[in-house]
Chain A
Amino acid sequence: MNIVGLDALVFGVDDVADCARYLIDYGLTPVDVGPEGGRFEGLDGTAILLARRDDPSLPPPLPTASTLRKTIYGVADAATLDAIAAELGRDRAVRWLADGSLETVDDLGFALGFRVTTPRPLSFTAEAANAPGVSAQRPVNALGVDTNAPPPKPRSLSHVVYFVPDVAKAEAFYADRLGFVTTDRFTKVGPFMRPAGCRDHHTLFMIQTPPFLQGCEHFTFHMGGPTEVLAAGRRMVELGYQSFWGPGRHIFGSNWFWYFNSPFGCHVEYDADMDHHDAEWVAREAEAGADSSQVFLFQARELWFPSGPPPAKTA
């Protein structure tokens, strides 16, 4: 199954205006957005789709507080779409929607969509670092920090994380029915998975939880590098948003991370510099815990200048 990655996540919420403001502050670009919601795109066109909770066009909600209503995957071509329709149509309803996409559910009840993907090709450089021992990555006189640059923008929808009540059943569905590959695993917690057409360490991670918690734990867009993760996250802090975890760097996937609370009732993350894998990769397994989930963790603080003359007295 040539599934190439996440194309969009659909949320149904009570407070469309708060969620829209949040996604714009996070750095996504609003497209056709109004009081009923709309589309919020990363630079390559992958997106968060926002709607009112009672929007009749959305698939039914999970029987929990989760606001995630559908996960839409991009596939390479129409033949893949037909193959998915045939495979999943064997034991569940699969609907063709007017926009040419497929809609169905996974074995845990998460609504799924599939569409032939059309991400815009991106032609940016990744963050370039000069280092002794390698030829210079930035041309001479090119600056690593540009204080006049606009805030960094999320480039591409990276991954979604589910709380699931039966992680073995969920992993089997994505592996056996959709051809996902497990890249690494936290023992008794769940697998990191990537679809066959994607080299990213994970587009899906699943966490075993009690049934009443089923839903979305977080979603993430890729940034251009660690500096962009830190700069974008610091901007969120300045805008008054609540940091939850980070900045830091994960071990499985090696991605830099910074998580924030959100009005979606799940976390929203920035990530950068995730590992790529192919069929040669052998999945690792570790007990989940603080030591295994990050190589380092920092916490934002206010800017400070512990140098120069002492600050003028203001009495």
Chain B
Amino acid sequence: MDDVPLCRMDELPPNGARGFDPLGEGRDALFIVRRGDTLRAYRNRCPHWPGAPMAWRKDGYLSPDGGHIVCYAHGARFDIDTGDCVQGPCPGQSLQSLPLIRRADGLLLVPRDALDLRTAS
């Protein structure tokens, strides 16, 4: 299984989020939240509504204070570390997290089988 390159670590905002469309589907399939050296990757699909994209604009996945992931469809809030819904329409549900591979040269990749883009939506 080949891994799908996303970007280099230094191309992520130091404290923020960025979305990726690695297979050119026309919308972001996943996003990464970086806080300092800590990374989390989640599928861009809100558990509230199957297939719903979450950002309000390109890379707009976080609350204004940067403290939560927000689905800007209906305002669900998620813990950045766990992906658990902490407020809003989908209590008890979680974002689907994705494993990230961090190469020594700084390149970030996601395993293609984890991404499983074609069957995931």
Contact = CB atoms under 8 A, between A and B. Distances in A.
Interface stretch (A82-90, A220-228, A261-269): A261-269
B111 interface: no
A96 interface: no
B73 interface: yes
Tell me the interface secondary structure of chain B in the complex: loop
Interface string B58-85: 1010011100001011111100000000
Contact of B56 (A215, A261, A302): A261
Given A266-B75, A267-B73, A301-B26, A241 B87 contact: no
B74 A266 contact: yes
Interface in A243-275: 243-244, 260-263, 265-267
A242 B75 contact: no
Interface residues of A, number: 32
Contact of B57 (A64, A242, A266): A242
A165 B19 CA distance: 34
B22 interface: no
Nearest to A259: B73
A69 to B, nearest CB: 14
A179 B92 CA distance: 40
A147 interface: no
A6 to B, nearest CB: 21
B64 A15 contact: yes
B41 interface: no
Contact of A263 (B54, B60, B74): B60
A14 interface: yes
Contacts of A65: 75-77, 87-88
B52 interface: yes
B74 A217 contact: yes
Nearest to A265: B75
A66 B53 CA distance: 19
B57 A265 contact: no
Interface in A83-138: none
Interface of B: 26-27, 52-58, 60, 63-65, 70, 72-77, 87-89, 91
Given A212-B88, A241-B57, 8 more contacts: A66-B75, A67-B75, A215-B74, A217-B74, A240-B57, A244-B52, A261-B53, A265-B75
24 contacts: A15-B64, A22-B56, A22-B57, A65-B77, A67-B75, A212-B89, A212-B91, A215-B75, A241-B58, A242-B54, A242-B56, A242-B57, A242-B58, A243-B27, A261-B54, A261-B57, A261-B73, A262-B56, A262-B72, A263-B60, A265-B70, A265-B74, A299-B26, A300-B26
